[in-house]
Amino acid sequence: MIGMENLLLKLMGSSLVGLAIISFAASVGYAVQRETAIIPRPQKITFHKGHFFTIRPDTVILADKAAMPTADQLRNAIAQATGYFLTVQMPRAIHENCISILLDSDLAHLGREGYRLSVTTPQMVITAADNAGAFYAFQTIRQLLPVQFYSKTPVRGIDWKIPCVQIEDYPRFAWRGALLDLGRYYMPKEFVKKFIDLLALHKMNSLQLHLTDDQGWRIEIKKYPKLTEVGAWRSQSVKGHYSVKPRRQYDGTPHGGFYTQDDIREIVAYARQRHVRIVPEIEMPGHAQSAIAAYPELGNTGKKLEVSINWGVHKNIFNADEKTILFLQDVLTEVLELFPSEFIHIGGDEANKTQWKASPKIQARIKELGLKNEDELQSYFIKRMDKFLVSKGRRLIGWDEILEGGLAPNATAMSWRGTKGGIAAARAGHDVVMAPTTHTYFDYYQSKDKKKEPLAIGGFLPLRKAYEFEPIPKELTAEQAKHVLGAQGQLWTEYIPNPKKAEYMGFPRYCALAEVVWTKPESKDYSNFIERLKAHLKRLDILDVNYRPLD
């Protein structure tokens, strides 16, 4: 027989009654306090002041098989911070003091990344159409708990209380990205994982790994071992700023490293569990000197080159021989085996055409293909990659230079030189990702007074500016705007030689970008963001993130 108490619990568990209870409470909107310091700001939140759900050692997690990946993540996070090893059960009976994770196609209108979170005193209920949404509910729960929840070892004596809230949340954009340049500096795999954790914490879902550049080739390719044997190592690096006059300085220290295919698999799997897609970037036809140093026949001069020790745009680019195109398609074949991402980035930026102009072979190739000039040859080159990737069921994405000489039919453009390229591509019916230098280059200075900051490439991109970025240009119609998949923040690393500095440059600007790509513009408010950020930075302290302090 069902007792009165159980009946009551059962009633409270149903979301209808839960809603009714919540509606008794004043909907307090956004009084900024620890309880609501959620970044990115959820689309809808009702806060039931003064009431809490508490995680205790006997709290039970209820999840069916489909929701088990998220249930395990939640259980592990709780064990790590609290030392409580909660039981996970199939949702057969309604318990008091339980956390339910329900995957329910009824929530499909919120998208696969959307979720509903209902916290009442007897229970907490996560509902989502997919584990991605449930995972984001879990991220929100982490932010609703006391900050010690981010600790990697159990913290005793804390009341693990979560305020009673009703949240309905989903992202504004599908592409919520970051770029990490591993070409200029190799960074340990452990840091790449930490960075993935930080992205996931901010409900970001895409990480572009810039794996090849003039100064280093960082991914093992079995068919062409010299790419890493030779291409992953340089004799030294620029010391100070590259533009220092009268004479550039070098540090005299060899630098290098690369990721084995097993390392890559590990990173991709780690990211996948956190709903972060890794988009590999293999640069072509420019930014290719490390590859040409390994295999001189890929270049235009036949000269033996060194892996570059300089920054800036280089003249040594791939030639456009059929053999070179096939070489790069072989490289991509191995890349495709490692990265399940639908999008494969082929670079395409800053291909200096000096050598192509001077090369009789290239000029003959232009004639043979019936092309007008070097831009059209670059376009031909990229179209070959587009066709290749499409034949393998993938999509090519490249920097906005790929528009020059004609955009490949299926290409997606990443607009970095402002938004012009993105606007043109969207108008032509192509998808675009916004990554303009002005608002998303997190290698730029964070203060107007550069002397107050560690050395950076240049520019000035304060937190406010990162926050105020609007990815959809006014020039686009509503229909064209649908082609804007989202935005991405870049950490180019010419002046970021180690993880600590990457964190300093990245945070809190990625916190701002997270809200740009998740939250509706009408819910964005800079001073409110800063108030939430102050609480949020305490989380980053516990996670040992070397963020730049607020002004």
Residues forming the site for ligand ACM (CB under 6 A): 349-350, 399, 416
- The pair of three-digit structure tokens given for residue 515, joined into one six-digit string: 């809200």
| H or E element that contains 482 | none
Nearer to ligand ACM, 349 or 475 (CB): 349
Nearer to ligand ACM, 113 or 401 (CB): 401
Separation of alpha carbons 49 and 55, rounded Å: 18
- The pair of three-digit structure tokens given for residue 134, joined into one six-digit string: 């449930």
Separation of alpha carbons 387 and 401, rounded Å: 18
| Catalytic hit among 48, 95, 275, 287 | 287
HSE toward the beta carbon, residue 170, CA cutoff 13 A: 16
Nearer to ligand ACM, 89 or 438 (CB): 438
Distance of CA 378 to the CA centre of its chain: 28
Residues 6+ apart with CB under 8 A from 387: 408
Separation of alpha carbons 42 and 171, rounded Å: 9
Residue whose CB is nearest to ligand ACM in the complex, by number? 349
Concerning whether 263 is annotated as a catalytic residue, the answer is: no
CB of 345 to ligand ACM, least distance (A): 10
Nearer to ligand ACM, 327 or 399 (CB): 399
Residues 6+ apart with CB under 8 A from 10: 2, 94
Nearer to ligand ACM, 201 or 397 (CB): 397
3-class SS shares of the chain: helix, strand, coil, % to 5: 40, 20, 40
Q: Are 62 and 33 in contact (CB under 8 A)?
A: no
Concerning whether 350 is annotated as a catalytic residue, the answer is: yes
CB of 41 to ligand ACM, least distance (A): 29
Nearer to ligand ACM, 171 or 183 (CB): 183
Q: Are 174 and 185 in contact (CB under 8 A)?
A: no
CB of 219 to ligand ACM, least distance (A): 19
| Catalytic hit among 64, 72, 350, 376 | 350
Concerning whether 342 is annotated as a catalytic residue, the answer is: no
Separation of alpha carbons 422 and 58, rounded Å: 53
Q: Decide the pairing of beta strands 395-399 and 343-347.
A: parallel
Look at phi and psi of residue 519 and say left if phi exceeds 0, alpha if psi is from -120 to 50, else beta: beta
CB of 168 to ligand ACM, least distance (A): 37
- Cα R_g (the chain), whole angstroms: 25
Burial label for 505, CB within 10 Å (0-12, 13-18, 19+), is buried
Buried b (16+ CB within 10 A) or exposed e, 327-344: bbbebbebbbebbebebb
CB of 289 to ligand ACM, least distance (A): 15
Beta bridge partners of 52: 163
- The pair of three-digit structure tokens given for residue 381, joined into one six-digit string: 């080159």
Nearer to ligand ACM, 72 or 349 (CB): 349
Nearer to ligand ACM, 349 or 404 (CB): 349
| Catalytic hit among 35, 130, 213, 431 | 213
Nearer to ligand ACM, 130 or 400 (CB): 400
Write the DSSP assignment of 268-281 as a string of letters: HHHHHHTT-EEEEE
Q: For helices 374-391 and 360-368, give the axis angle rounded to 10 degrees.
A: 70
Residues 6+ apart with CB under 8 A from 119: 48, 53, 125, 144, 162, 163, 164, 165, 166
SS3 label, residue 496: coil
Nearer to ligand ACM, 134 or 423 (CB): 423
Q: Where are the beta strands (DSSP E) in 153-248?
A: 161-169, 175-181, 206-210, 212-213, 216-217, 233-234, 238-239
Separation of alpha carbons 243 and 450, rounded Å: 15
CB of 179 to ligand ACM, least distance (A): 9
Nearer to ligand ACM, 170 or 416 (CB): 416
- Known catalytic residues? 213, 287, 350
